[in-house]
Amino acid sequence: MHSRTIAAIATLLAALSLQAQPLSGDALKAKLRSNLDIAVGQYKLLQRNVPADRMPQNFDIATATLKTSDVTWWCSGFFPGTLWYLFEHSRDKELRSIAEARLRQMEPMKHYTGNHDLGFMMFCPFGNAYRITGNPAYKTTIDTAAMSLATRYRPQIQSIQSWDSSKNFRCAVIVDNMMNLELLMWASANGGSPRLREIAVTHANTTIERHFRPDNAAFHVLDYSLGGGGRLLRKTTWQGASDSSAWSRGQAWALYGFSSMYRLSGDPRYLDQARKLAAFILDHPRLPKDGIPYWDFDAPNIPNTLRDASAGSILASAFLEMAGQVKGKEGTRYLRAAENILTTLSTDTYLATPGTNGGFLLKHSVGALPLKGEVDVSLTYADYYFVEAMMRYLAL
């Protein structure tokens, strides 16, 4: 995307995102229920637009182009995962039927070992489905997926390898990997091998030790050599502005991952890490007042650059979890941060008009700007975590 186009979009978003006091309490809940009702219609439209043997990937509103993927794409589980949340909200039988069909499409991926993303691909859809229905077949799928993910654990680096070796990385461990630990923790706590928990805990502890800058922001990629005891070669990025920058969605993944690990383990080290990162984000001078971060906290040309609604939606869900993990003013701060983001994402700037946007719910996310991939588009994981955050807020 041309730099002038990015600047124009950034200026438009800044102008449109000016808002009054964020909604809270009953007023916000009423708005979120309306959003979820809109989402039901949008996801039925998305289902009609996506072939039965494909999954939605993104929608470019500028060109009105819908891109789909096969089930091996790391985002393939978000569409069925969102469908289950929307069924939970609406009890719409048509949605349940669609969600069940999409699970059948995903089920063979329980054996996938091609990367670390089994949590996204399998626990988001099957975890929700099992929680809502109690169908034991879904638990069996989760258990198998957890064992598949465990094959990527590398003892010599005390971490789960994210991507296979390539010309770019020898043994990459990315901060996104924190999001896949819930699959291991849940499976272990529900009759699975204790080793699954051990892997998740070891990976999380290694992440605390090696993955953060002195200012408590997370690096995106750590690249290791698997020979010679697993030497750490470099701390770098793949989707961020620079090796030392704070890529916004990476910070969101880390915040969500550590708040989840605290819920699942009770280990205060994980809450402490989440608190440090929350302070980095909320106190950052370049976090916009409406709560939707620029695609990188250290991106060049701020404020004339793009926001990332996907980072915002992940942060909202994580802040809501953290609001229930601490007390007093700190908990209130996290709650207000989530309310601010949810209010912003509920405006016409980000929320699609019913019947538009290919069926996606949110606009204006950024996948990998340096790679010129999925720039200022709608993304399945932006929708997933927005819907999750709305469901979490309504459950308060």
Check: CB of residue 352 under 8 Å from CB of residue 362.
Answer: yes
Rg (CA), the chain: 20
> What's the CA gap between 342 and 22, in Å, rounded?
8
Q: Which residues of 212-250 are buried (b: 16+ CB within 10 A; e: fewer)?
A: beeebbbbbbbbbeeeeebeeeebbbbbbbeeebbbbbb
Residue 267 appears among annotated catalytic residues: no
Every domain of the chain and the residues it spans:
1-49+251-396
Residue 376 appears among annotated catalytic residues: no
For residue 301, give both structure tokens.
């040309």
- What is the topology classification, in CATH, of domain 1-49+251-396? Glycosyltransferase (1.50.10)
Check: CB of residue 133 under 8 Å from CB of residue 86.
Answer: no
> What's the CA gap between 114 and 131, in Å, rounded?
27
Q: What is the pLDDT of residues 317-360, one digit of tens each?
A: 999 999 999 999 999 999 999 999 999 999 999 999 999 999 99
For residue 253, give both structure tokens.
């993944």
Check: CB of residue 277 under 8 Å from CB of residue 255.
Answer: yes
Q: Which amino acid belongs to residue 80?
A: P
Choosing from 26, 92, 117, 348, which is the catalytic residue? 117
Q: What is the DSSP letter of 91?
A: -
The pTM score is: 0.96
Backbone phi, psi, residue 173, to 5°: -125, 115
Give strand pairing partners of 212: 218
Choosing from 143, 176, 223, 290, which is the catalytic residue? 176
Which among 363, 365, 186 is positioned nearest to 261, based on CA atoms? 186
Check: CB of residue 162 under 8 Å from CB of residue 172.
Answer: yes
Which among 32, 44, 36 is positioned nearest to 101, based on CA atoms? 44
> What's the CA gap between 313 and 315, in Å, rounded?
5
Write down the residue that tokens 């998740």 correspond to: 200
- pLDDT value, residue 3: 63
Q: Which residues contact 391 (CB under 8 A, 6 or more apart)?
A: 36, 85, 88, 89
Counted residue by residue, the chain has a size of 396
**ω into 214 cis (within 30 of 0):** no
What tens-digit pLDDT sequence spans the chain (396 residues)? 656 577 656 666 666 555 568 999 999 999 999 999 999 999 999 999 999 999 999 999 999 999 999 999 999 999 999 999 999 999 999 999 999 999 999 999 999 999 999 999 999 999 999 999 999 999 999 999 999 999 999 999 999 999 999 999 999 999 999 999 999 999 999 999 999 999 999 999 999 999 999 999 999 999 999 887 899 999 999 999 999 999 999 999 999 999 999 999 999 999 999 999 999 999 999 999 999 999 999 999 999 999 999 999 999 999 999 999 999 999 999 999 999 999 999 999 999 999 999 999 999 999 999 999 999 999 999 999 999 999 999 999
- pLDDT value, residue 67: 98
> What's the CA gap between 78 and 121, in Å, rounded?
7
Q: Which residues contact 150 (CB under 8 A, 6 or more apart)?
A: 184, 195, 196, 199
- Cα-Cα-Cα-Cα dihedral sign, residues 334, 240, 173, 193: positive
- pLDDT value, residue 18: 57
Backbone phi, psi, residue 223, to 5°: -110, 125
Report helix, strand or coil for 361. Answer: coil
